[in-house]
Amino acid sequence: MKHEQLMSKLEKMVIDGIESHIIDKEIENQRLPDSERKVIFRHIQDFQVEQLKVKQAKEENFNIRVLGWTVLCVGLIITIGSFLFNPSVTVIAYGAILYGLYVLMRRKLNPIDEDNATKKRSMFDKGLFNKF
């Protein structure tokens, strides 16, 4: 099996959610020379980390959108409810409405960096803790 085919097969296994010990066994079953096996193993590990970062970024984006929509809806419910129950004195919950809109629009103004899958790099990614 060619290396490109093996890489694409293993990457598909990672995307399908197959556990890493099964992927490791698949690499060992190919009976490659030790140096090639290490290169393929390292590539698959990096690919797994990349997929986890993308998944984490998507989950974080979803949680932020849920927060934005919740705050926005609460503000609208307070505003509409106060108008329906007492039209002479209406409470406009502009703080909750504006904050909900801000949270929803913040992701559109600052999109996720496609290369790193996250907007901010942690101190570990910057290499500040390489000594430890």
pLDDT of 36: 81
3-state secondary structure 60-97: HHHHHHHHHHHHHHHHHHHHHHHHHHCCCCCCCCHHHH
Q: Which residues of the chain have pLDDT under 50?
A: 114-118, 132
Distance CA 107, CA 58 (A): 11
Question: Which residues are within 8 A (CB) of 6 and not within 5 positions of it... i.e. 6 or more apart?
Answer: 30, 40
Q: Which amino acid is at 117?
A: A
- The two structure tokens encoding residue 26: 């698949």
| pLDDT on residue 39 | 82
pLDDT at position 72 is 95
Query: What is the SS3 assignment for 56?
Result: helix
Q: Which of 9, 12, 7 is nearest to 37 (CA)?
A: 7
pTM here is 0.60
Q: Give the model confidence (pLDDT) of 8-29 as tens digits.
A: 888 888 888 778 778 778 877 8
Q: What was the pLDDT predicted at 6?
A: 78
CA dist., res. 67 & res. 109, Å (int): 17
